[in-house]
Structure 1
Amino acid sequence: MSGPTRRPTLRDVAGRAGVSTSTASLVFSGKGPVAPATADRVRAAAAELGFSGPDPLATSLRQGRVGTVAVVVEAPLREAFRDPFALAVLDGLADELEAADRTMLLVAQPADDPVRAVAQLSSQAVDAGVFPLCGIRDNPVVEHLAGRGVPLVGSGSPDGPGMAHVRTDEEAAIGLTTQHVLGLGHTRVAHVSMNLGLRSPTRAARPDDLEAALYLDAAGRLRGFRALAGDAAPVAVAADLTVGSGEEAGRLLLDVPADRRPTAVVCQSDLLAAGVVRAAWALGLRVPQDVSVTGFDGVDLPWLDATLTTVLQPGVEKGRALGRLVRRALEGEPVADVGFPVSLRVGTTTAPPPA
């Protein structure tokens, strides 16, 4: 019985074509000058031998890279794909990685089972790891990849030795919208927070939420809001980052007697803010005449019949900034944290409080 047929190699092609192996390699890589007649001879020899090109795994081992970057999404992927800001960040990151001839390996990591991603990555060779959406405070994937010597880049959290971040000052950023409504004269101001930890129903905030928070971006925004509005300001914590959860939080805050109803609601995302606007409308309240609402991110919401007053945080540009840090790390350059600027956009959802 004959053994398995040996796969033809680049050396075989070079021998058939009567050229050196390095010349044959240049023909397949397209990275060097080769006479057209010689290139045609090499391609003909390859076709005769059934050689489809160099083994990409062998090439990557020789070059010390595999061309893949692990992109860890600290949530089920379906949730990230429903969030226009997350999609914008991933788009910008993909642009930069594509320019560096790298592909993305998306790894979903639910907060209630973070170790699962370690098992998935343990059998994957990757050139770098990126945490683009500012997830949980302590992530076991960081220790795993850092132990393998893989460069790591994040968006504020998680953290680890040698990890570089594109950082938004979350406290100062939420201060833009909070100070805006306070400056309009609002004194009864409420807040809608993103989920601070493990999944729970939409609920009123608890005194220990900040100490127990797993998500540092949500905790930073809550801390920034309270620094300006005071600890007594009502806060609702949304179950997840959806319009539906925003609407539930809006009803929790607004469906109360008029003398206790907030006249402004500062939200930690545009999706949550859109839900609060819907809740106000459903309760017969006018936005902004009866209640002002602000968001965060500046995503496009063409289906909302209003322009949110919001914190502009361009997602595509943030993704590109993450990608540039990855490229520098892969090129052996020293990398350090960089700040990411945000700004206030005043839309049609804020006004002075009702008389």
Structure 2
Amino acid sequence: MSNQRPTLADVAATAGVSVSTASLAFSGAGPIAATTRDRVLAAASELGYSGPNPLGRQLRSGRSGIVGVVIGDALRRSFRDPVSIQVLDGLVDTLGVLGLGVLLIPGSTGPGAPLVDPLVESAAMDVAVIMWGSTPHDPVLTTLRRRGVPVVLLEGQATEGVAAVGIDDRAGMAVLAQHLLDLGHRRIATVTLPFDQARRSGPVDDARLAAIEWQVTRRRLAGVRDAGVDLLETWETPASLVEHGADAGRALLSRPDRPTAVVAQSDLLASGVVLAARELGLRVPQDVSVAGFDGLDLPWLAPDSLTTVVQPLQAKGVAVGNAVEALLAGSQPESVVLPVELRVGTTSGPAPS
């Protein structure tokens, strides 16, 4: 008995039909009688034929059926962040209905790492999604454009010919900052997301502030300033993780002129500041108010619930998926900006007298 894999031609011969008719039985792409389809499928079952080679189908269609998702950070960090997970859930759910797979591509991290992951240079993908704040001169975006891969940009700077999905985070941060001002706070510090690929940690000066590359960080910082806040200090973190918020909180709340309020650019960073305040024996919000951004459910922070700006994480992923679908259909989707809203929790209160 031959061990050679049966072919579509073998199935057609066994069923007594042409190869093109047998192909229609598997693809469902054209007219074929139900009895003929049943005869072809019965022959396939008899021969142990599982279906056309997917690689051949891809070559014939000119598509891979894959959407490349450039995370922008190491995967080990991204999957500790509920924001990334919920957005990816919305995206993957949408793409799954379309029969598309996802290739996750990590960002360039660590000293000596290439600016562009080799997968961006060579992997087969029909559309690419760049998450978290690309710039027009981003080498990843430049590479994808050179390859002719359509791009959906999540929370980056709008660029001609690139589909963009974002949230009104600048306005949301302005509302959050105004909330703290209305409570009487004037000594306000902020804990930010990374400024660029360097992912530094610590206080920043004017020169560093002027050099922010990542648009999410820039917009959210601008929102605080839009409210008229003269920041006591700005602390940059390497990533949106609780431990980085705690490091920032310990430093900021140990100052002789410590802030009466800390506004963080993510809920994980804000929760780290809350934990640092508890560690230092400070009461939240009686001694210091803390606010974040994202609207995450953080039951482990009990009895506190964060004052935060809620963003529609799942809907953001769905919007990216819809943009992918439009690009595959040959149209250029319009940019989408989703609304956010303030949610007042237990971590903000009147400034201490």
What is the TM-score of this pair, normalised by structure 2? Answer: 0.91
Hey, what's the Cα distance between the residues in 1 that align with 2:76 and 2:157? 21
Does 1:64 find its partner at 2:48?
Answer: no
Pair 200,123 (structure 1): closer, same or farther in 2 beyond 3 Å: closer
Pair 323,335 (structure 1): closer, same or farther in 2 beyond 3 Å: same
Q: Which moved more, 1:266-275 or 1:18-27?
A: 18-27
Does 1:16 find its partner at 2:17?
Answer: no
What are the superposed Cα offsets for residues 29-58 of structure 1, whole Å, 9 maximum, x if unpaired?
Answer: 356675565344323322444422101111
- Correspondence for 2:260: 263
Q: Does the CA-based 8 Å contact 2:232-2:259 persist in structure 1?
A: no
- Correspondence for 1:115: 115
* Structure 1 residue identity aligned to 2:258: R
What are the superposed Cα offsets for residues 221-251 of structure 1, whole Å, 9 maximum, x if unpaired?
Answer: 1122233344452111123211111011111
Hey, what's the Cα distance between the residues in 1 that align with 2:261 and 2:14? 78
SS of 1:146's equivalent in the other structure is helix
- Correspondence for 1:233: 232
Hey, what's the Cα distance between the residues in 1 that align with 2:59 and 2:318? 27
- Correspondence for 2:325: 327
User: Runs (4+) of structure 1 moved beyond 6 Å?
Assistant: none
Instruction: Give 1:307-346 correspondences, 5 Å limit.
Output: 307-346=305-344
- Correspondence for 1:28: 26
Q: Does the CA-based 8 Å contact 1:142-1:159 persist in structure 2?
A: no
Q: Does the CA-based 8 Å contact 1:139-1:158 persist in structure 2?
A: no
Kindly tell me the number of residue pairs found equivalent between the two proteins.
Answer: 349
Hey, what's the Cα distance between the residues in 2 that align with 1:252 and 1:302? 25
Instruction: Give 1:1-355 correspondences, 5 Å limit.
Output: 7-30=5-28, 37-111=35-109, 113=113, 115-117=115-117, 119-135=118-134, 138-157=137-156, 160-257=159-256, 260-305=257-302, 306-355=304-353
* Structure 1 residue identity aligned to 2:144: L
What is the TM-score of this pair, normalised by structure 1? Answer: 0.91
Hey, what's the Cα distance between the residues in 2 that align with 1:129 and 1:348? 40
Q: Which moved more, 1:183-192 or 1:22-31?
A: 22-31
Post-superposition offset of 1:286: 0.8
Identity %: 47
Hey, what's the Cα distance between the residues in 2 that align with 1:319 and 1:200? 25
Hey, what's the Cα distance between the residues in 2 that align with 1:335 and 1:39? 38
Where does the alignment leave 5 or more consecutive residues of structure 1 unmatched?
none
SS of 2:50's equivalent in the other structure is coil
What are the superposed Cα offsets for residues 105-134 of structure 1, whole Å, 9 maximum, x if unpaired?
Answer: 0000125535341x2233321110001333
Hey, what's the Cα distance between the residues in 1 that align with 2:224 and 2:159? 27
Pair 68,344 (structure 1): closer, same or farther in 2 beyond 3 Å: same
* Structure 1 residue identity aligned to 2:93: D
Q: How large is the RMSD of aligned CA atoms in angstroms? A: 2.2
Pair 87,136 (structure 1): closer, same or farther in 2 beyond 3 Å: farther
Hey, what's the Cα distance between the residues in 1 that align with 2:231 and 2:25? 71
Pair 200,141 (structure 1): closer, same or farther in 2 beyond 3 Å: closer
Hey, what's the Cα distance between the residues in 1 that align with 2:289 and 2:100? 44
Pair 30,310 (structure 1): closer, same or farther in 2 beyond 3 Å: same
Q: Does the CA-based 8 Å contact 1:221-1:268 persist in structure 2?
A: yes
Q: Does the CA-based 8 Å contact 2:201-2:235 persist in structure 1?
A: yes
Post-superposition offset of 1:14: 1.3
Post-superposition offset of 1:96: 0.9
Hey, what's the Cα distance between the residues in 1 that align with 2:133 and 2:226? 22
Pair 201,124 (structure 1): closer, same or farther in 2 beyond 3 Å: closer
Pair 137,174 (structure 1): closer, same or farther in 2 beyond 3 Å: farther
